[in-house]
Amino acid sequence: MRRLRNVKIVATLGPSSSDYETIRALFEAGADMFRLNMSHGTHDEQRARYDIIRQIEKDTGRPIAVLADLQGPKLRVGVFAAGAADLEEGEPFRFDLDPTEGDGHRVCLPHPEIFEALEPGATLLVNDGKIAMRVETCGADFANCIVTTGGTISNRKGVNVPDVVLPLAALSEKDKKDLEFACEMGVDWLALSFVQRPADVDEARELAAGRAAIISKIEKPAAEKAFDDILAVSDGIMVARGDLGVELPVQAVPPIQKRLIRKSRAAAKPVIVATQMLESMIESPMPTRAEVSDVATAIYEGADAVMLSAESAAGRYPVEAVETMNNVAISVESDPTYREIIEASRAAKRNTVADGIVAAAREIAETTDVSAICCYTQSGKTVALVARERPRVPIIALSPVTATLRKMSLFWGVHAVECEEVERFKMAVVNAARAARDFGFADETNQIVVTAGVPFNVQGTTNILRVAPCDERLIFRTDPE
């Protein structure tokens, strides 16, 4: 099953997509990675979905990536005696630690960490930014505010504090339990919410202990400011535009998205663009033109993947949403302007032998009649470097390591193929030629580029590049033992 586009599609599973038939249909429609949202559903429900994914992987013979998205700390107000209160602009309002039910003048905010970090002049946002307040005076257990944007505040609505770095870890006790469950289950990627600093990623990595790769969700202004340091310790990035759009002016999000994508690509780390991409398809079988343009923009910018959330998890048209995203991607990538933008944004990296090998592979593919770049890999690092180059031909990742192939399924342009362990370069070339033919990337009249490392089956040794025929008889005739 060969994809006809390079950008990958991440589909979230939920009540609308929990049975074998629907998840299989999502995969066949174009989903390359499935997201398990740990904010919703029980462990038993998530395990059942995971088992179905692995059964589909077995039935189709295609490695499939699975992402567990951790909830992160949730900051919420307490409850109101009347269930809600109407706040008018210019009115005073108080947050405190008193658990007494709230009214139109005050409510409990059961997070002392927020009061610890607040300063006069800071902004507090409630209910996804629909209500805004400015802190006038504050202390260890209170914050007296002035309402700057009024509205109805009700029980347990979420609170955002965009102006300060909160003394909160990214992993709550629930997250730690969910992380251990997800790693034991066998997920390939963990998405870390509420990232504010590199230390948050380090903590998650220590707990994961090599069992899953870490994707940092950039959803807070503090994370955007510290992005270079966070990127350095992360395996991938998710541009979580929903919370970014709450805590920052909405007009700031598009340029931030563009910068984060380019920096992630330069670091050879996959970047997912997420949140509200085809949101109208939760209820409608057709997206809006603005949503289609939004998806297209992320693809033009060079994102590795675009993500569906409620559209595939709880919407009425989950399969249609994936099909729409797939069709948009095919259309964008067939536009000559797309290739111009992708190549203009390529950042030259020539720091290692592997950097030089993959750059040469891409240049050979663009200047000669080559059908695919085939990478024999253990860890997937070389594949990531090739994907960073955004070549004009498909990338085939070959490995005997199933976990590596699953992770590589997220990377731009990569088709992952499991093969046996080899001891000689000739057999790596033979496996590459077979994979290129079997999956429709080439026939016996074509050539491929093959990269590998000697000694074999050792990470970080990419040092060979070969232009090879796809005809095995020619390989055996021209290659020495």
CA distance to 7, 282, 283, 290, per residue, from 287 (Å): 19, 9, 10, 8
Q: What is the mean pLDDT of residues 63-82?
A: 96
Task: Name the average pLDDT for the chain.
Answer: 94
How many whole angstroms separate alpha carbon 417 and alpha carbon 379?
A: 14
Q: Please spell the DSSP secondary structure of 331-364, one letter per residue.
A: HHHTSHHHHHHHHHTPPP--SSHHHHHHHHHHHH
Task: List active site positions.
Answer: 35, 76, 217, 275
Q: Please tell me the total number of residues recorded for the chain in this structure.
A: 481
**Which of 78-87, 127-136, 365-374, 420-429 has the lowest average pLDDT?**
420-429
Q: Determine the Cα angle at 97 with ends 127 and 156, to 5°.
A: 25
Instruction: Give the up-direction half-sphere exposure of residue 337: CA atoms within 13 A in the CB hemisphere.
Output: 7
Q: What is the mean pLDDT of residues 213-228?
A: 96
What's the confidence (pLDDT) of residue 452?
A: 87
Q: What is the mean pLDDT of residues 236-241?
A: 96
Q: What is the mean pLDDT of residues 388-403?
A: 96
> Each residue of 156-180: pLDDT tens digit?
999 999 988 999 999 999 999 999 9
Q: What is the mean pLDDT of residues 182-196?
A: 97
Confidence of residue 462 (pLDDT cuts 50, 70, 90): confident
Q: Please spell the DSSP secondary structure of 214-250, one letter per residue.
A: EEEEE-SHHHHHTHHHHHHH-SEEEEEHHHHHHHS-G
Q: Determine the Cα angle at 291 with ends 298 and 416, to 5°.
A: 45
DSSP annotation of 32 reads -
CA distance to 8, 42, 95, 253, per residue, from 258 (Å): 17, 35, 37, 9
The strand ranges marked E within 279-401 are 305-308, 370-376, 395-399
Is 197 within 8 Å of 226 (Cβ atoms)?
yes
Q: Which domains, ranges and CATH numbers included, belong to the chain?
A: 8-72+170-333 (3.20.20.60), 84-160 (2.40.33.10), 353-478 (3.40.1380.20)
What's the confidence (pLDDT) of residue 426?
A: 87
**Which of 134-148, 202-216, 450-464 has the lowest average pLDDT?**
450-464
**pLDDT over 70 at 457, yes or no:** no
Tokens of 320: 């249609």
How many whole angstroms separate alpha carbon 35 and alpha carbon 14?
A: 9
**pLDDT over 90 at 479, yes or no:** no
> Each residue of 282-333: pLDDT tens digit?
999 999 999 999 999 999 999 999 999 999 999 999 999 999 999 999 999 9
Beta carbons within 8 Å of 268's beta carbon, 6+ residues apart = 349, 384, 385, 387, 388
Instruction: Return the number of other C-beta atoms located less than 10 Å from residue 40's C-beta.
Output: 15
Strands 462-469 and 447-453: antiparallel
- Rounded to two decimals, what is the model's pTM? 0.94
> Each residue of 102-142: pLDDT tens digit?
999 999 999 999 999 999 999 999 998 999 999 999 999 99
Confidence of residue 402 (pLDDT cuts 50, 70, 90): very high
Q: Match 């997937």 to its residue by tokens.
A: 380
The residues that bridge with 86 in the sheet, in sequence order, are: 152
Give 84: exposed, middle or buried? Use CB within 10 Å, 0-12, 13-18, 19+.
middle
**pLDDT over 60 at 480, yes or no:** no
Before 285, cis peptide (omega within 30)? Answer: no
How many whole angstroms separate alpha carbon 124 and alpha carbon 251?
A: 19
**pLDDT over 80 at 350, yes or no:** no
Tokens of 115: 């009061």
> Each residue of 246-292: pLDDT tens digit?
999 999 999 999 999 999 999 999 999 999 999 999 999 999 999 99
